Structure 1
């Protein structure tokens, strides 16, 4: 008969409002200097957690200590993670928040932009998690993956982002099978939030305005903290009620979401939303009959 493992003391601290007490919790947050990362770090620190961030370019206004780390670099990640864990004296929580977006039509050959998104969103998360596994197993810790609604419901002209986030979920599922006896793994699925991540797509004339409803940053941060501090670790968490409906439909009735998205894309193409956007030329041609 197997003897149940005893959780790390920090993970057994008092629960307030159905949540674990964050005081003293040792956490690493990737993408810590970005829009999501700064807000997540600030909220954890406000609740008493000890937080070290990782980011390619730390900023002076970061609310916690942020170490420089290129998560696309095989050598940089273990070094930065080891330094963070040394500062914290262990690790109870990893929040894989780092991610980038950009224009990437599925009909075109994959280029540098596609490889960049896959390397950061998927492989960067993989590298960071692998460097943290031993410390998290020791503490019976928790991992939160900040995925995307697009992991379940793909939007057009952004194939690399959706593919990387869907692959991220597959990675989380495999990780859960391997270390789930000791470490909880939760995926969080935000929809669109206004942030610089959309700038390159808009600059290419492929803005998703009209195809996606924006949600407040605070709701995403609330859900990430719910995943991190909830009394019961959850497998998947959406960030809004609308997101929960979209997630359900995309998983169980995908033909419904496919039709809605296809009709919206066609309407946008016909009304000139992609006028002058070279990457959308094929979409415009097929929907308008333009030469």
Structure 2
């Protein structure tokens, strides 16, 4: 195992649910940490540089500032991400485009800006994807697409820089965090479809990827997650049937009746969406 002590680490999305805990755990293990986020500040003794990583110029400047503060770079954790409802049968709106920008393009900008210092240190990159990258769910197409594209980007990157930089992808499931608020407000909660897991386990998996003696390609965060990823990869039709059965049960129970974005699925299932209250 590699030690975190003395490692110079950058964590994107530092003010988020995973990001704050990652910064704290890395610092507690003796790493020197700089966060990147839309809002600057500090997490403990670790500075957070304010920048919009979806903007290529800001991403370059933010990474350069972090590397200068750290005196180099050994570890980049691409953790920043946003979620929200986006049915695949409807045209992509602003929320869908935002998910693609933050979950994919921002990680691409950040990684490209960090390649040179990471190559010098023979460092590591850890991408925080999602189990939905391989096990997609309906009504959340933008999130699944962006996270699957992130995996494809990591795979291509590994072929280009893998001789000098370790590239790993971590696949969390559902964690209680504000990332699900928009879906819940739209009546599209994943409750009953995906099982919650503790944030501490996700952070432990990310740190495990950073400290593994040899870079691990893909890391599930729970035993159940390993099974789900195996089924999704090797038996995709079975995985789709499992998801479809769960969604069908939710529709039959009326769980999506108040969700306007699910109107198409409700109509095809023979159900009528609830009308919004007047006024």
TM-score (norm 1): 0.92
2:118 is the alignment partner of 1:139: no
- Structure 2 residue corresponding to 1:232, chosen from 214, 223, 240: 214
Structure 1, residues 98-119: CA drift from partner, whole Å, max 9, x if none? 0000000001001111110000
Distance 1:153 1:59 in 2: 36
For residues 250-287 of structure 1, the C-alpha deviation after alignment (integer angstroms, 9 at most, x for no partner) is: 00001111011111111111211112211011111111
Tell me whether 1:93 sits opposite 2:75 in the alignment.
yes
- How many residue pairs match? The answer is 273
| Residues 1:28 and 2:10 are matched in the alignment | yes
The residue that corresponds to 2:223 in the other structure is: 241
Picking from 111, 114, 118, the partner of 2:93 is 111
Indicate the larger mover: 269-278 or 110-119: 269-278
What is the CA distance between 1:288 and its match in structure 2? Answer: 2.7
Write out per-residue CA displacement over residues 150-173 of structure 1, whole angstroms, 9 at most, x where no aligned residue.
111001110000000000000000
Structure 2: tracts of 5 or more residues without a match:
274-279
Residues 1:174 and 2:164 aligned together: no
1:39 is matched with which residue? 21
Cα root mean square deviation, aligned:
1.2
Residues 23, 43 of structure 2: 8 Å contact kept: no
Residue 63 of structure 1 and its aligned partner are, at CA, apart by: 5.7
Counterpart for residue 264 of structure 2: 282
Unaligned runs of 5+ in 1: 1-18
Is residue 173 of structure 2 the alignment partner of residue 191 of structure 1?
A: yes
For residues 79 and 25 of structure 2, the distance between their equivalents in structure 1, rounded to whole angstroms, comes to 14
Query: Counterpart of 1:266?
Result: 248
Secondary structure at the aligned position of 1:54 is classed as strand
- Runs of 4+ in structure 1 off by over 6 angstroms are none
Candidates 134, 140, 160, aligned match of 1:158: 140
Query: Are 1:211 and 2:193 an aligned pair?
Result: yes
Partner SS, residue 80 of structure 1: helix
Over 3 Å counting, the alpha-carbon distance change for 1:60 and 1:83 in structure 2 is closer
Write out per-residue CA displacement over residues 173-207 of structure 1, whole angstroms, 9 at most, x where no aligned residue: 00000011100100000010000000000001110
Instruction: Report the Cα distance in structure 2 between the residues aligned to 1:149 and 1:140, rounded to whole angstroms.
Output: 28
Q: Which residue of 2 aligns with 1:129?
A: 111
Q: CA deviation at 1:230?
A: 1.3
Structure 2 Cα separation of the partners of residues 44 and 189 of structure 1: 19
Q: Deviations over 1:188-233 (max 9, x none)?
A: 0001000000000000111011100000011001000000111121
1:222 alignment partner, one of 186, 199, 204: 204
Aligned residue for 2:56, secondary structure, equals coil
Instruction: Give TM-score, length-normalised by structure 2.
Output: 0.95
| Cα 1:61/1:232, change in 2 over 3 Å | closer
CA contact 1:33–1:62 (8 Å) conserved in 2: no
Q: Which residue of 1 aligns with 2:276?
A: none
